[in-house]
């Protein structure tokens, strides 16, 4: 064989009828020449670049006058348009060649000419051809461009992904849906015989993942998009683009003229929702993880939110109208962040200490530790813990404290009063394992002479009325009435976060209402006597938190709002501004304002 400058794929096939080689001519005359003839002698096929692969071509090879030494057929072909060739030699005088062609969409439009040659050989490597046995044929494969009416195209049903979400992590809406971790957009193709090859590129401000797969349904491919979570982005408007490139082939020899397709992602994360109407409101969310305390500072128009962590606590000063963090402070190591009370003049903040020490008094607004009101020791546990405390109305440095022998709602010990660092003489004592006021919550009545106490949540509800004077605290009646749990006083009535909101006459202890609200439990109650409203925070039968606003006199429900199931504000509520209400869970501060809170 002579040298060949073009790429050739070699074929070698052993004679299937080995041992039956061609015979001599029986005489002394010269042997006839060997002949290999192709039928047809040439081959032409064609296909559109977006069309089907041509059918395999079958070529017959006639073999004449093969000598006995011809045991093999060998040869080769050029692979410009040919994918592969198979050869069947099952008869001594005839072989069959099957030619498979490359897919037209893997070739650019043009003419691809290949040659096939075969020869008889005496060895398996075909290094010894039988003289004169080589035969060659030409195969021409024409790939045509599509007609103007049949140009391939791709398209998507939507070119925009729109997301609205809250900084709480709740996704309000996704178009086209269903959610940010599983957006699917079909990629359609037209005027193609086979699925197109698709690939994607995207910016990654909001996009966590974007990938187009191979066709899964006929000629249709699918774009899969996963977006980042709202908490990872924060409040703001964000934009991304996803580019889809489509080609007739994986190597993109033949790109689809209508690609690339561009899909935009517009993602808005908000920190508030608004409900219109006469009982409407705007609710703003401030993300404050590990929050353990909340108190209103009306003197400065601030809210303080405490984050418990390690040996100290972070205190964040929040502007409630905007949710902005005005300052972040570090409180001393002994700060608990459980019960927080601010003096009327805004100078002091009181809160229990760790380790049964007493009550810390901080100077506002920088939360400097001013002093600690120390508790005396006892023979049972060595010290006292605090269930609740209140600042005496009309004073800035006098307190009443419900103490326990351990834990915020531990074994009740007593209810005592302090003027500065000095404990008043009289107190209501509940000896260990003895009967008496099991007080976990304190609430002032109409003035500083009347104090109410309530049992811990989850217990059989009871309440007590205490008399307070310069000598301390006494208990005129035991018990005063039903109740239990957090409570609020307004207009001669006591409202208890117990039994679906229980209402007592604050003078007689007579029960005025029970199971007032359709909730399984209540975690907090707050009164605004000036507005004549009571706010109750509970959990409905579906496990969602609900805020109710109730008229103090008629006990009618003036309005309510149900919180999304992804968050559960509970317990502590404080009023701020003219029409604001704040509450918190362990992660979020909820700031409500509007006519639902105050008309």
* CATH code, domain carrying 77: 2.60.40.10
Give the tens place of pLDDT for each residue, 571-595. 789 999 999 999 988 888 999 999 9
Residue 593 within a domain: no
The answer to whether the bond into 242 is cis (omega within 30° of 0) is no
Average pLDDT over residues 407-427: 87
Average pLDDT over residues 269-282: 91
Q: Give the Cα separation of 103 and 249 in Å (integer).
A: 9
Average model confidence (pLDDT) across the chain = 87
252 with 339, same domain: the answer is no
Average pLDDT over residues 220-224: 89
The CATH number assigned to the domain holding 380 equals: 2.130.10.10
Give the pLDDT confidence score for residue 23 in this predicted structure.
40
263 with 370, same domain: the answer is no
The CATH number assigned to the domain holding 215 equals: 2.60.40.3450
Residue 584 within a domain: no
Lowest mean pLDDT among 99-113, 201-215, 430-444: 430-444
**Sequence-distant (≥ 6) Cβ neighbours of residue 125 within 8 angstroms:** 12, 74
pLDDT at 518 over 70: yes
pLDDT at 488 over 50: yes
Give 77's strand partners. 9, 116
Q: Give the Cα separation of 535 and 532 in Å (integer).
A: 10
Average pLDDT over residues 195-205: 92
Give the tens place of pLDDT for each residue, 413-422. 899 999 999 9
| Percent residues over pLDDT 90 in the chain | 56
Best CA proximity match to 133, nearest among 43, 177, 73: 73
Residue for token pair 């039928």: 39
Q: Give the Cα separation of 256 and 44 in Å (integer).
A: 27
Domain final residue, candidates 145, 161, 178: 145
Average pLDDT over residues 401-419: 84
Give the pLDDT confidence score for residue 310 in this predicted structure.
59
Give the pLDDT confidence score for residue 1 in this predicted structure.
32
Q: Give the Cα separation of 85 and 116 in Å (integer).
A: 9
Give the pLDDT confidence score for residue 425 in this predicted structure.
96
Residue for token pair 């069309």: 51
pLDDT at 156 over 90: yes
Lowest mean pLDDT among 202-216, 433-447, 506-520: 433-447
Give the pLDDT confidence score for residue 576 in this predicted structure.
95
pLDDT at 215 over 90: no
Phi, psi (5° rounding) for residue 394?
Answer: 80, 0
pLDDT at 29 over 80: no
| Confidence band for 202, pLDDT divided at 50, 70 and 90 | very high
346 with 487, same domain: the answer is yes
Give the pLDDT confidence score for residue 446 in this predicted structure.
95
Give the pLDDT confidence score for residue 22 in this predicted structure.
41
User: Residue 130 carries which DSSP code?
Assistant: P
213 with 333, same domain: the answer is no
pLDDT at 20 over 80: no
pLDDT at 301 over 90: yes
- Top mean-pLDDT range of 25-29, 131-135, 275-279, 342-346: 342-346
Give the pLDDT confidence score for residue 478 in this predicted structure.
62
Residue 475 within a domain: yes
Q: Are strands 42-48 and 9-14 parallel, antiparallel or unpaired?
A: unpaired
Contact 461, 469 (CB under 8 A): no
108 with 182, same domain: the answer is no
245 with 214, same domain: the answer is yes
Degrees to nearest 5, angle at CA 341 with 399 and 581: 140
Give the pLDDT confidence score for residue 262 in this predicted structure.
97
Greater model confidence, 31 or 68 = 68
Q: What total number of domains does the chain contain?
A: 3
100 with 196, same domain: the answer is no
pLDDT at 599 over 50: yes
Residue 577 within a domain: no
Give the pLDDT confidence score for residue 14 in this predicted structure.
46
Give the pLDDT confidence score for residue 86 in this predicted structure.
92
| Confidence band for 362, pLDDT divided at 50, 70 and 90 | very high
Host domain of residue 185: 149-270
358 with 457, same domain: the answer is yes
156 with 220, same domain: the answer is yes
Long-range contacts of 277-280 (CB under 8 A, 24+ apart): 277/595, 278/595, 279/549, 279/558, 279/559, 279/595, 279/596, 280/594, 280/595, 280/596
pLDDT at 21 over 50: no
| Confidence band for 324, pLDDT divided at 50, 70 and 90 | very high
pLDDT at 469 over 70: yes
pLDDT at 198 over 50: yes
User: Residue 192 carries which DSSP code?
Assistant: -
Residue 566 within a domain: no
pLDDT at 224 over 70: yes
Contact 284, 562 (CB under 8 A): no
Give the pLDDT confidence score for residue 296 in this predicted structure.
95
Residue 521 within a domain: no
pLDDT at 267 over 60: yes
Residue 139 within a domain: yes
183 with 35, same domain: the answer is no
pLDDT at 207 over 90: yes
Give the pLDDT confidence score for residue 7 in this predicted structure.
43
243 with 365, same domain: the answer is no
pLDDT at 189 over 50: yes
pLDDT at 456 over 90: no
| Percent residues over pLDDT 70 in the chain | 89
- Say whether 588 sits in a helix, a strand or coil: strand
Give the tens place of pLDDT for each residue, 72-85. 998 999 999 999 99
Give the pLDDT confidence score for residue 331 in this predicted structure.
75
Residue 589 within a domain: no
Best CA proximity match to 37, nearest among 11, 57, 63: 63
Give the pLDDT confidence score for residue 24 in this predicted structure.
42
Give the tens place of pLDDT for each residue, 226-257. 999 998 999 999 999 999 999 988 888 899 98
Give the pLDDT confidence score for residue 460 in this predicted structure.
66
Average pLDDT over residues 557-565: 85
Domain final residue, candidates 463, 493, 516: 516
Domain final residue, candidates 145, 176, 199: 145
Per-residue b/e over 182-212, b at no fewer than 16 CB within 10 Å? ebebebebebbbbbbbbebebeeebbeebeb
Give the pLDDT confidence score for residue 5 in this predicted structure.
27
435 with 460, same domain: the answer is yes
Distances (CA, A) of 127 to 95, 121, 130, 157, 591: 20, 7, 10, 61, 90
Phi, psi (5° rounding) for residue 122?
Answer: -100, -15
Q: What is the pTM of this model?
A: 0.72
Give the pLDDT confidence score for residue 125 in this predicted structure.
86
């Amino acid at each position: 064989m002579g040298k060949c400058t073009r790429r050739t794929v070699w074929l070698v096939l052993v004679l299937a009828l080995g041992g039956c080689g061609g015979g001599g001519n029986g005489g002394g005359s010269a042997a006839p020449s060997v002949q290999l003839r192709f039928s047809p002698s040439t081959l032409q096929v064609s296909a559109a670049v977006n069309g089907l692969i041509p059918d395999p071509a079958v070529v017959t090879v006639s073999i004449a006058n093969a000598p006995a030494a011809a045991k093999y057929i060998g040869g080769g072909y050029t692979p410009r348009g040919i994918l592969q060739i198979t050869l069947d030699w099952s008869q001594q005088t005839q072989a069959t060649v099957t030619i498979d062609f490359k897919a037209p969409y893997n070739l650019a439009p043009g003419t691809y000419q290949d040659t096939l040659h075969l020869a008889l050989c005496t060895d398996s490597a075909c290094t010894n051809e039988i003289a004169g046995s080589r035969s060659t044929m030409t195969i021409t494969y024409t790939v045509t461009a599509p007609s103007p009416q049949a140009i391939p195209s791709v398209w998507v049903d939507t070119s925009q992904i729109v997301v609205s979400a809250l900084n709480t992590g709740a996704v309000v809406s996704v178009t086209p849906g269903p959610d940010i971790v599983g957006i699917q957009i079909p990629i359609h193709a037209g005027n193609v015989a086979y699925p197109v090859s698709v690939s994607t590129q995207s910016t990654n401000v909001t996009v966590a993942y974007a990938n187009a797969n191979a066709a899964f349904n006929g000629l249709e491919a699918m774009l899969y998009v996963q977006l980042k979570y709202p908490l990872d982005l924060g409040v703001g408007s964000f934009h991304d683009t996803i580019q889809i490139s489509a080609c007739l082939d994986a190597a993109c020899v033949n790109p689809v003229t209508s690609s690339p397709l561009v899909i935009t992602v517009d993602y808005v994360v908000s920190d508030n929702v608004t409900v219109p109407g006469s009982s409407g409101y705007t609710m703003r969310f401030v993300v404050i993880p590990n929050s353990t305390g909340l108190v209103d500072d009306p003197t400065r128009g601030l809210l303080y939110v405490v984050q418990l962590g390690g040996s100290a606590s972070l205190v964040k000063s929040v502007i409630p109208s905007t949710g902005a963090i005005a300052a972040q402070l570090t409180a001393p190591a002994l700060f608990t962040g459980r019960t927080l009370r601010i003096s009327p003049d805004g100078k002091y903040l009181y809160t229990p200490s760790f380790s049964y020490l007493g009550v810390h008094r901080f100077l506002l607004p920088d939360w400097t530790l001013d002093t600690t009101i120390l508790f005396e020791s006892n023979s049972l546990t060595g010290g006292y813990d605090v269930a609740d405390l209140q600042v005496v109305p009309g004073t800035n440095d006098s307190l009443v404290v419900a103490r326990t022998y351990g834990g915020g709602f531990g074994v009740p010990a007593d209810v005592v009063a302090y003027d500065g660092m000095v404990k008043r003489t009289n107190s209501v004592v509940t000896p260990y394992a003895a009967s008496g006021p099991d007080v976990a919550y304190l609430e002032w009545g109409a003035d500083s002479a009347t104090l109410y106490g309530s049992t811990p949540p989850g217990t059989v509800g009871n309440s007590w009325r205490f008399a307070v004077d310069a000598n301390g605290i006494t208990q005129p009646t035991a018990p005063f009435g039903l109740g239990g749990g957090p409570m609020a006083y307004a207009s001669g009535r006591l409202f208890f976060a117990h039994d679906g909101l229980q209402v007592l006459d604050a003078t007689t202890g007579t029960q005025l209402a029970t199971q007032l609200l359709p909730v399984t439990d209540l975690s907090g109650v707050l009164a605004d006597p000036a507005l004549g409203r009571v706010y109750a925070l509970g959990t409905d039968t579906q496990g969602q938190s609900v805020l109710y606003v109730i008229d103090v006199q008629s006990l009618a429900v003036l309005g309510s709002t149900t919180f999304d199931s992804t968050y559960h504000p509970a317990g502590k509520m404080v009023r701020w501004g003219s029409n604001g209400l704040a509450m918190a869970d362990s992660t979020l501060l909820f700031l409500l304002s509007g006519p639902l809170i105050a008309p």
